[in-house]
Structure 1
Amino acid sequence: MKLIQTVKRRMGNEGEDGNEPVAKPSSGSTRGPNVRQVETPFPALPMLRDEPPGDRAELFRKKLEACRRVFDFSTETFQKDKEAKRLTLLEIVEHVNNTRNCFNESLMQDVVDMVGANIFRALPAKDRSVMSISDPEDEEPTLEKAWPHLQIVYEFFLRFVVSNDVDPKVAKRFVNQNFVLKLHELFDSDDPRERDYLKTILHRVYGKFMALRAFIRRAIQHTFFKVIFECEIHNGVGELLEILGSIINGFALPLKEEHKDFMTRALIPLHKVKSLAAFHQQLSYCMAQYVEKDHRLAYDIVFCSDQS
């Protein structure tokens, strides 16, 4: 019950009955070419709690493998199998909550494979030009139809990232640059619930995997450059700026030149983009964090913002 309540709390715009709100119809499937319709029934595996402790690791692996199957939520097919997978996902989250050392090295590849199979997908194509900009309050976000599964997968991966049993020196072979880059690309999702999970997870990855920190900053900078120089619209700029706000707050003094360059090249020019209203509050917070670190940067911010 605690797990289900936690999951419901994270879905901020659900109704009281726990059902997913009606989503605005999308122009195409968000699963793209990654959809794998399952022709065989979802495997009926025994409950983890009913197995002897010595057999649970192998059963856990089998459940992870089973949950790599992806269903198409744009159709009404395979309803029983979809529900069976949802319950299995809930069970493995409950299992990791109550089991020590369940994320051992031999299972890390299975964990990352299952998560990747579910969340990495083609996002729906849309008009990214400045002519398409409208007031965000004028239209409802397009919600991900596969959210009944995706949400629990994100919850599971969050538990993996924050687990004390996961040694970053070992896990970095699985949560590597390629994985993080694919995770970063999902910030362009139309669904604000998904972007909120991604924000929390990427921030935790940044804090835990020190070897990935510079790479994550470069990935964020590249996204901002596309918004600045290619006039693209990106759904996740606000969430990425929220992560940066915490990162900037943790910068050591005196500030490194690379951090000052990031402010000058990637943050200040964001003040001039057409979609500024969508993330102005988060951007202002980042600027304030820089000024708190070094008051002399206030002149650079005001002068460069006026000239950019």
Structure 2
Amino acid sequence: MLKQLLSRFPRKSSKSDAVDSAGGNSGNNLITSGNGIQRTSSGTPLSSRSNSIKRMSSAVFPASVVAGIEPLLSFKDVPSPERQSLFISKLNLCCVVFDFNDPNKDTVEKDLKRQALIELVEFVASGSAKFTELAIAAICKMCAINLFRLFPPNCRSNSTGGEIDDEEPMFDPAWSHLQIVYDLLLRFVTSTSLDSKIAKKYVDHSFIMRLLDLFDSEDPRERDCLKTILHRIYGKFMVHRPFIRKAVSNIFYRFVFETERHNGIAELLEVFGSVICGFALPLKEEHKMFLWRALIPLHKAKSMGVYLQQLSYCVIQFIEKEPKLASTVIKGLLKYWPVTNSQKEVMFLSELEEVLEATNMVEFQNIMIPLFRRIGSCLNSSHFQVAERALFLWNNDNIVSFIAHNRQVILPLIYPALEKNIQNHWNQAVLNLTVNVKKMFSEMDEELVRVCQCKYEEEEAKQMAAAEKRRVMWKHLETVASVQPVAGNTAVLITPTATAIMC
């Protein structure tokens, strides 16, 4: 009776009976040997080839990863209806992560995974991939497992994101795999067959936030890939745009007001340079607040020189979109002006020139008084590069035109600085440039220069008189002190103690 019951259950087939039904013959086949992978002749039957590949994949990768169709098969070796299943199987296979700190560890497995990643990229690039919801989930999972990681503190430079140094960038040893994963993610995001309404469930806020965290990588190659991918995600998923802007703003806030350490500020600003170009007019209040609260405070950081070019581009884009913002930008520059850092002061003057080129006359007049007070201080800087850079502003025709139209206000503000340079500055190049600027003003309005000269001489005479008065006063005090020395028994007023007051 027991034998009759058992005979009703289907008998389990042995491993030797298993035959892979997918694909035809291949020129070069892989089998395992004691030391790794060997290639067999082209005449090997397909069943032997599939069985050997399955044995190898089950030994190299976990059994839970290799599901469905055998992932080590090539896409050309399976019929078209089964390629989508193979695509997902290869994605699951590539979820295995290896340790690349030891280059001699798991070399065969690493090569197999790299080959699988390359085949995935080629398959997506060919346009054969169909991004169903299952495929989207699989590709997002694989990218997340391979890319999203923490950067260990002991591998990060103490000065990265801080003061500018000459240290070489650190390169990730796993880049041979990471680069292909990034390429796959980029092709996935930019694919015309990707339905953003379905993909947004997987490329969600958490995915984007972890992607933004990777911008702190010390590997410049990784940051360059991230820059392109973030820009494509911003363009593809309109629903995520406000979140991306807010998340990047928070990165800037944390960098400026807390840590001043981040490796990807330049790349994030480069992405937002393109984003700002696409802002619709009139600008939303949210975008203006981003300029005032996020971009302008970036001038405060010591490492501003690392991302100055990208920051200036973003600021200029705002001014070109809405010229009224020019005075806001200049006020921000004056607020964060570096009074003790000559190198940054030269950078500020360079950016100021770009801003003034994009400024109209009305906005210039709104800000010219505090602006040229600061420029006057720069003209008298003992650091010759600061003074020289400030004087170079007069080489810009647009700025000279602004100054010429408003010389009645501007020249009295800076004339004392010009005279002090001519009389006292130690650098010959600064002296020559100052003489040229004064000559330019004389050609504009000789009468105004004469009036400013007279006023300057009067002020100098008053200051000399005040200085002489102070000198005489101090001399008198010294004489009185020497004639009436303090006696030995001079009474001294002592504040009564609390006990004496109580008595």
Q: Which band: TM-score by shorter chain?
A: 0.7 to 0.9
- Residues 1:86 and 2:105 aligned together: no
Q: Does the 8 Å CA contact 1:130/1:274 hold for their aligned counterparts?
A: no
- Among 123, 135, 147, the alignment partner of 2:164 is 135
8 Å Cα contact 2:161/2:260 also seen in 1: no
CA offset digits 1:68-88 (Å, max 9, x no partner): 000100012100110111111
Contact 1:228/1:273 (CA < 8 Å) preserved in 2? yes
> Aligned with 1:143: secondary structure?
coil
Counterpart AA for 2:293: R
Which of 84, 91, 96 is the equivalent residue of 1:57? 84
Shift of 1:118: 0.3
Q: How does 1:41-56 map to 2 (within 5 A)?
A: 41-42=60-61, 45-56=72-83
Change (3 A) 1:129 1:263: farther
The one of 231, 250, 258 equivalent to 2:286 is 258
Matched, 1:213 2:213: no
1:56 deviation in Å?
0.8
Residue 231 of structure 1, CA deviation: 3.4
> In the alignment, is the contact (CA less than 8 A) between 1:141 and 1:191 conserved in 2?
yes
Aligned mates of 1:82, 1:140 — CA distance in 2: 27
- Aligned pair count reads 270
Contact 1:238 1:279 in 2 (8 A): yes
Identity of matched residues, %: 47
Measured after TM superposition, the shift of residue 40 of structure 1 is 4.1
Please, which of 51, 68, 77 is the counterpart of residue 95 of structure 2? 68
- The answer as to whether partners of 2:88 and 2:138 remain within 8 angstroms in 1 is yes
Structural RMSD (CA) = 1.9
- The answer to whether the 8 A contact 1:65-1:110 is kept is yes
Residue identity matched to 1:248: I
For the pair shown, the structure with the greater C-alpha radius of gyration is 2
Per-residue CA shift, 1:131-153, capped at 9, x if unaligned? 983434x1111101100100000
Gaps of at least 5 residues in structure 2 are 1-56, 337-503
TM-score by length of 1: 0.84
Q: Which has the higher contact order (CA 8 A, sep 6+)?
A: 1
Structure 2 match to 1:24: none
Q: 1:289 to 1:208 in 2, by over 3 A?
A: same
Corresponding position of 1:32: none
SS at match of 1:279: helix
Q: Secondary structure at the match of 2:209?
A: helix
In structure 2, what is the Cα distance between the partners aligned to 1:132 and 1:236? 9
The aligned amino acid for 1:155 is: D
Aligned partner (choices 118, 126, 147) of residue 175 of structure 2: 147
Whether 2:254 is the aligned partner of 1:226: answer yes
Q: Secondary structure at the match of 1:230?
A: helix
Q: How many angstroms apart in 2 are the aligned matches of 1:160 and 1:89?
A: 13
Change (3 A) 1:257 1:101: same
CA distance in 2 between counterparts of 1:140 and 1:128 reads: 10
Matched, 1:109 2:137: yes
CA-to-aligned-CA distance 1:218-238 (integer Å, 9 cap, x gap) = 111001001111032100000
Residues in 1 aligned to 2:152 and 2:303: alpha-carbon distance in whole angstroms: 20
Alpha-carbon distance in structure 1 between the residues aligned to 2:105 and 2:332 = 56
Shift of 1:305: 2.0
One-letter code aligned to 1:133: G
Q: Secondary structure at the match of 1:284?
A: helix
Tell me, yes or no, if the aligned pair for 1:130 and 1:232 is still in contact at 8 Å. no
The reply to whether residue 158 of structure 1 matches residue 179 of structure 2 is no
Is the contact made by 1:71 and 1:82 (CA closer than 8 Å) also made in structure 2? yes
Query: What letter corresponds to residue 84 of structure 2 in structure 1?
Result: A
8 Å Cα contact 1:195/1:239 also seen in 2: yes
Structure 2 Cα separation of the partners of residues 93 and 78 of structure 1: 23
Corresponding residue to 1:198 among 221, 226, 236: 226
Equivalent-residue separation in structure 1 for 2:58 and 2:324 (angstroms):
63
| C-alpha contact 1:104 1:165 (8 A) present in aligned 2 | no
Distance change in 2, residues 1:220/1:95 (3 Å): same
Which segments of 5 or more consecutive residues in structure 1 lack a partner in the other structure? 1-37
Could you tell me how far 1:101 is from its partner in structure 2? 4.5
Question: Residue 119 of structure 1 aligns with which residue?
Answer: 147
Q: CA deviation at 1:95?
A: 0.8
> Structure 1, residues 78-137: CA drift from partner, whole Å, max 9, x if none?
00110111111001111111133522222110010001010001112157877983434x
**In structure 2, what is the equivalent of residue 181 of structure 1?**
209
Residues 161 and 303, structure 2, Cα contact 8 Å, conserved in 1: no
